Structure 1
Amino acid sequence: MKKMLLGMAATLIASQAIAADPISQRKDALKQYKPVIGAMGKMVKGDTPYNKDEFAKLASQLEALSQKPWQYFPAGSGVGKTDARPEIWSKPADWQKAIDNHQAATANLKQVAQAGDLAAVKKAFADTQQTCKACHKDFRKD
């Protein structure tokens, strides 16, 4: 019984250490983007049929995701340990502008998706993707 309790305590401590790691937390938050953007991309490209309601649901999910990862970039976290460039911390105004642009684009995409006009959705989706690319270009080592 004692060994089992010690094992459970060790597991709990290890999981708390992982949860407190901002690098792991931001990676987890950013990984959530891929399936959402992938499904949306397939619809706008015509690889899967465009479904207004499903796309609007995905756009809502993406807008919610756009609020998550940024809190996990505390000052200096991951410099030299991740693909994050030091400019995130040395140019905080530029970093914040990139975040704001992305959040504005995802909010617009969510709104446009509600109307369901595929041409407008395609443009708003492309604009959103552009904010992702711009951020990766300036703030991520590829």
Structure 2
Amino acid sequence: MKAIASLVAAAAAALLALPASAQNFQKPEDAIKYRRGAFSVLGPHFAALGAMVNGRAPFDAKAAARHGEVLAVVSTLPWTAFGPGTDKGDTKAKPEIWTEQAKFKEGADKMQAEMAKLVAATKTGNLDSIKASFGPAAGTCKACHDAYRGS
């Protein structure tokens, strides 16, 4: 039964990730909405793990694993939506994203790598493992927010 659940989760992740990698936005506003949506889904799942890590919520290994499954997919989604013309409009993105594209991509790649480590830790059911990987993942989020997100 557990193997079936894992296969279903993997298939869902693959299906969700596919449209993001091949995303063709009709208008810049569509891309902005897409990336904002991805970040708005990522935030609460990451925050729920943070609450467990910091003792503000009781640790629940099954819930941590579910949050990890969501983060595995959602942390890969917003990056395709930072294309041309998406620097204007309803966005908190700073212009440096487009003037420092290589640095921005490096930060996004680092975030995804740290998030993958956190996701792997959530699958262990071990709070200490999750704590060890949460800090570095959170650090990549903070670094990007500090450099590339306005108020």
Distance 2:111 2:92 in 1: 19
Which runs of at least 4 in structure 1 moved beyond 3 Å after TM superposition?
16-20
**Unmatched 5+ residue regions in structure 2?**
1-24
| In the alignment, structure 1 residue 126 sits paired with structure 2 residue 104 | no
Distance 1:81 1:54 in 2: 33
- In the TM superposition, what whole-angstrom CA distance separates every residue of 1:35-78 from its partner, at most 9, and x where no partner exists? 21121122112222111122122112112111111111102412
Q: TM-score, normalised by structure 1?
A: 0.79
Check conservation: 1:84, 1:140, Cα contact below 8 A: yes
Distance 1:19 1:81 in 2: 10
Q: Report what 2:120 is aligned to.
A: 111
> How far is 1:88 from its partner?
1.0
| In the alignment, structure 1 residue 93 sits paired with structure 2 residue 69 | no
Q: Which of the residues 47, 67, 83 maps onto 1:38?
A: 47
Distance 1:38 1:18 in 2: 31
> How far is 1:138 from its partner?
1.1
Q: How does 1:17-56 map to 2 (within 5 A)?
A: 21-56=30-65
**Unmatched 5+ residue regions in structure 1?**
1-15
Identity of aligned residues (%): 33
Q: TM-score, normalised by structure 2?
A: 0.75
| In the alignment, structure 1 residue 57 sits paired with structure 2 residue 66 | yes
Q: Report what 2:86 is aligned to.
A: 77
Q: CA RMSD in A?
A: 2.2
